[in-house]
Amino acid sequence: MHPNRALIGVPGGRADLATPALVLDLAVFGRNVATMAAATRASGLALRPHAKTHKCKAIAARQLAAGAIGLCVAKTGEAEALADTPGLRSLLVTSPVIGASALARLAGVAARVPELLVAVDSDAGARALSAAASAAGVRIGAVVDIDPGIHRTGVPGAEAAAALAKSVANLPGLWFAGLQCYAGHAQHIEDYAVRGEIAAMALADMATAAALLRADGLPPPLLTGGGTGTFAQEAGLGVLTELQAGSYIFMDVEYDAVALEAGGAGPFGAALFVDARVISANCADFVTVDAGYKAFATDGPKPKVAGGAPAGSEFAFMGDEHGAVFAALPLGALVRLQVPHCDPTVNLHDVIHVLDGDTLVDIWPVEGRGRSA
């Protein structure tokens, strides 16, 4: 049993948390979920949130209950972990899956969900997916991934996309489910207008590919992509039919640094933090807390002090297990730190502590944690 489970429902129980603890402000999270659901509904887009952000069935179920038409995952292991989320009708694996054992596992997931969609970006990959689906007696929707200019995955350009779409449409065990283009390189561009231009450039190939396929009698059922950093702009382009945003539920220091609406901070609030505790206080300038590289992702900005210390107090990493908070605080004090980059930070933690103010109301397992394979 998790050491913090005994605190559930205890008023003010947050003070006694075993730390470091990944904590969710339930009220802010709930507003973020509702806000994105309303925004996509208003713009005529379907919402298929990316679950690589949270890897958590309790969160996925809340997104689906708020109107999401399905989920995205990045990897086979995540698909396995989240396949039985209540309310899940359609699951999209957004990266190509290669390798016989992984493909056999994907076919197993296809038998557990009403609809499984998988990104493909090569003829060889599509043929292997087809073979796995056929062998298992299932049908999988192939989504042709278009390179937005990152060169990470995807076919290069509209004509290659249309050609691969026609190819998968003829493969046994597969059906052509649509096109995907995710402008990951645009999401954190600081200038709102430039960010929109980059996203639009990426989606131009998708629009052309869709037109080619419509003209050839193979209209793409889905046009999927987009992220938290570009959703407002992409909604206005009229290309996508559904949005894959993930980080909007938590927000993080990285997304807080860019304006998500023209001239404004955007409609989402910071909901995910690590509560850490002062475990050494022998220095004049700072105290040491019990959270370091094993509690926060380190690929982006630093964690940001969000409570428990004077506003503007800085955090610095002090190795694997510890951090410094530049403030005068007593031993045992709790410091709240906004997570720097949410996806890989969640991936460090087995559970999410759900807080209503200072009361722990639930502990949600992160079922997909570490399921990168």
- Return the percent helix, strand and coil in the chain, to nearest 5: 30, 25, 45
Q: Can you tell me the distance from the alpha carbon of 39 to that of 306, in angstroms, rounded to the nearest whole number?
A: 27
Candidates 57, 195, 304, 369: give the one binding a second copy (CB under 8 A). 369
CB within 8 Å of 195: residues ≥ 6 apart: 186, 187, 189, 229, 230, 233, 258
Handedness of CA 342, 46, 175, 116 (dihedral sign): positive
Q: Can you tell me the distance from the alpha carbon of 223 to that of 355, in angstroms, rounded to the nearest whole number?
A: 37
By CB under 8 A, what part of segment 94-123 binds a second copy?
95-102, 105, 121-122
Stretch that binds a second copy, among 189-197, 214-222, 302-310, 345-353 (CB under 8 A): 345-353
- Nearer to a second copy by Cβ, of 282 and 312: the residue is 282
Nearest partner of 307 among 289, 319, 293, judged by Cα? 289
Per the CB < 8 A criterion, the answer to whether 63 and 93 are in contact is no
Nearest partner of 370 among 113, 81, 153, judged by Cα? 81
- Nearer to a second copy by Cβ, of 148 and 241: the residue is 148
Candidates 25, 234, 254, 290: give the one binding a second copy (CB under 8 A). 290
Total of residues contacting a second copy (CB under 8 A): 72
Is 144 near a second copy (CB under 8 A)? no
Candidates 343, 352, 354, 363: give the one binding a second copy (CB under 8 A). 343
Is 280 near a second copy (CB under 8 A)? yes
Q: Can you tell me the distance from the alpha carbon of 266 to that of 269, in angstroms, rounded to the nearest whole number?
A: 8
In the complex, minimum distance from the CB of residue 236 to a second copy, in angstroms, rounded to a whole number: 26
- Nearer to a second copy by Cβ, of 39 and 59: the residue is 59
At position 69, the amino acid (one-letter code) is I
Is 198 near a second copy (CB under 8 A)? no
Each residue 78-97 as x (binds a second copy by CB under 8 A) or -, in order, gives: -----------------xxx
Is 264 near a second copy (CB under 8 A)? no
- Nearer to a second copy by Cβ, of 71 and 74: the residue is 74
Cβ atoms within 10 Å, residue 195: 22
Candidates 189, 286, 306, 337: give the one binding a second copy (CB under 8 A). 286
Per the CB < 8 A criterion, the answer to whether 331 and 288 are in contact is no
Is 370 near a second copy (CB under 8 A)? yes
In the complex, minimum distance from the CB of residue 96 to a second copy, in angstroms, rounded to a whole number: 5
Candidates 49, 70, 125, 308: give the one binding a second copy (CB under 8 A). 125
